[in-house]
Copies of this chain bind each other. A is one copy, B any other.
Amino acid sequence: MTVSRRTVLAGGVAIGASAAMPAALAAAPTGDCERWGIHEIALDGPGRGNPFDDVTLEAVFESGGRQIRVPGFYDGDGVYRIRFSPPDTGAWVWRTASNAPALDNRSGRFACIAPRAGNHGPVRVSKDGYHFVHADGTPFRQIGTTSYSWALQSDAKCAETLATLKGGPFNKMRMLVFPNVPSVATDPFVRTGAALDAWDPTRFDPAYFRRFEDRIRRLGALGIEADVILFHPYDEKRGYSDMKRADDARYIRYVAARFGAFRNVWWSMANEYDNIKTKTMADWDHLFGVLVAADPHDRLRSIHQINTYYDHRKPWITHASVQNGAAVLDDLRAELHRAMTLKPVVFDEVVYEGNSTKRWGSLTGQEMVQRFWHGLIGGTYVGHSETFDPDQNADRSWLGQGGRLVGTSAPRLKFLREIMEDGPAPGIDAIQPWWNYHLAGIPNAYYLKYFGSESPTEWRVALPGRGPAAAQRYRIDVIDTWNMTISPVAGVFAMSQLNDYDVHDPARPTVALPGRQWMALRLRKV
């Protein structure tokens, strides 16, 4: 039995050492790994029996007194892998533990070096609790999209999807592990017969997961987060979401060990969890416990509903993932989700842009963009998708398989993202939502106002605030969110007290608006 040198998948370093080598040599440094990259260890081990069930493997990584226990996984053909994404630079040492002698007590070390350009680290919840930042402090301004089974399509189709994403607005992709529409890859488990549900939940097909992680890696190269959805209710005939608890847990541990080291991974426990009738709330809570224990990289975790909101206050949830068709038609509805979860809120599904005769797939581009703006003014984030297909077949649309975008919202979402990135970090909050101002920003510094489907010809410039801190001078930009123009208003608005609650400029009480829909205002302190 030897330890083989293996190609690593993403910024990691392969380990080469023979089993007969003395420990000192085996522990010699074997290459550098950038911070938040992947240091992957590949080891040859038992290939008989059922390695997924029979063999335990983990490694403890240590640096500066900090120990991190990382589970390994079986990748087929007698090869076992352990993937670790080092959270800090410096010298790391590791040692394995396994019930297989060939995999046990192996050790090594490596240097974790500074991240390369463009590597900002994984996304975390911001200190204020309501936004997202990369580990290096770079704000992450979520503009999501969904293409459920894009990762399971042919390489050519996936390349088309990636080309669409490149340079577009989207920095998070929601994607199912298990297929929901016609796909090239359909078998995450080893088949045992011809029937759709003839497969062995105890034996994964490594090629299926290798393909999936290739898609994760390619998204990462574009700076796009992969929101990996572990279960969903749309495969009744295959039954991947109707496994027993022990099978669910094995699957979660496998996926966590394989995918969790990729710094762009987020976990979505399920899509429309409450439509999976074979699982109870207790099952979901249990599976979150499994995921937390299986994921030393502590990636973001949420779960998505159709009818019954999951309790996103539960401690294992990092952010609220919400499906709601009407909540982001009003910034204050959106904001209430923050008020009630005390966490960042992503409206991952707000019905789709498309040409469907179904109401869930027939938004105009304007209506799609409108939802992002209302969400933003509520201090929350929104997700896009579209269902255009000449034959009304949503399966074949961007939503199902990816490919090209047909809709008109994407450029406007890119325009929006630029405005977000030009704004305060890590994000903006609703201003005094209790008092119905419909304003977002940072008090006494930066404000956004969005008029949605209204067509006002002016806005009375009044900002909540009192005292010297509120007596600021602002420049105002009139933003056409659809035509993507930013028109500065000449001069400055010098605020003074209007009443007990608001400031205004008595010399300029209003600002003119063009009487069109989809307008916004930006006020920035001079």
Contact = CB atoms under 8 A, between A and B. Distances in A.
A210 interface: no
Interface in A300-322: 308-309, 311, 313
Contacts of A433: 326
Contacts of A336: 327, 333, 336-337, 340
A81 B498 CA distance: 59
A332 B327 CA distance: 8
A500 B392 CA distance: 15
A325 B500 contact: no
A196 interface: no
A330 interface: yes
A341 B341 CA distance: 10
A323 to B, nearest CB: 9
Contacts of A358: 500
Interface string A323-355: 011110110110011011110000000000000
A245 interface: no
A511 B358 CA distance: 27
Interface string A51-63: 0000000000000
A361 to B, nearest CB: 12
Interface residues of A, number: 27
B326 A357 contact: no
A339 B326 CA distance: 13
Contact of A435 (B325, B330, B357, B501): B325
B500 A434 contact: no
Given A329-B436, A333-B336, A434-B324, A357 B308 contact: no
Interface string A30-67: 00000000000000000000000000000000000000
A286 interface: no
Contact of A313 (B311, B339, B342): B311
A313 B326 CA distance: 23
B325 A436 contact: yes
A303 to B, nearest CB: 14
A177 B363 CA distance: 53
Nearest to A325: B434
A312 to B, nearest CB: 8
A327 B500 CA distance: 22
Identify which of A308, A340, A358 gathers the most chain B CB atoms within 10 Å of its CB: A340
Nearest to A501: B359
9 contacts: A309-B340, A309-B342, A311-B311, A324-B434, A325-B434, A326-B435, A330-B333, A336-B336, A337-B340
